[in-house]
Amino acid sequence: MPQPTRDIPEDLERFVQEVRRHMRDFADLNELIDGEESGDRMILLELAQTLSDYNSIPPLITPAEFGTFPSRFLLLKGTVYNLLDSANLLLARNSLAYSDGGLSVSDVEERYRKYAEIATRGKEWWEARVTRFKIAANLAEAIGSGVPVGVHSEYFWISGAYGGYS
């Protein structure tokens, strides 16, 4: 069982363990590496990167933090895909293909290729899902309450400022 990361709130510690369970990243399950692939602090870093990425994707509605993120599922998936992307940087830096007498050895390249494929497809899926989610949230906020409060286009001010009267 991994040691808890010091000095972090209990809800963040639970999220770290949730990410680890989702990725099946436990020492006894990792047959090719010793220990866990991603440490708790790396998971927290990628969580922060996921939050930053979410807040930078238009429409720029109310910024989300860990405690206010609208979808735990999207936060988990974004963190996982960012972790895989980060692990790929390490794999790329430490890959070494060796060939001698017709025998080729490259244990890292296949894992790198698989991680790259999962991370790329996952990040594309995540960004599309976040964009759709934020557009829907913006529309609901703009028209759902009867008071226009969402992020509007300039056409709102041109045609909507007079209450429908021109």
- pLDDT value at residue 62: 81
Domain boundaries, the chain: 10-145
**Which amino acid belongs to residue 102?**
G
Is 52 a residue whose pLDDT tops 70?
yes
H-type helices in the chain, by residue range?
10-23, 40-56, 72-93, 107-143, 154-155
Q: pTM of whole model > 0.75?
A: no
Distance CA 16, CA 135 (A): 28
Calculate mean pLDDT across residues 30-55: 83
Residue 78 pLDDT grade (very low, low, confident, very high; cuts 50, 70, 90): very high
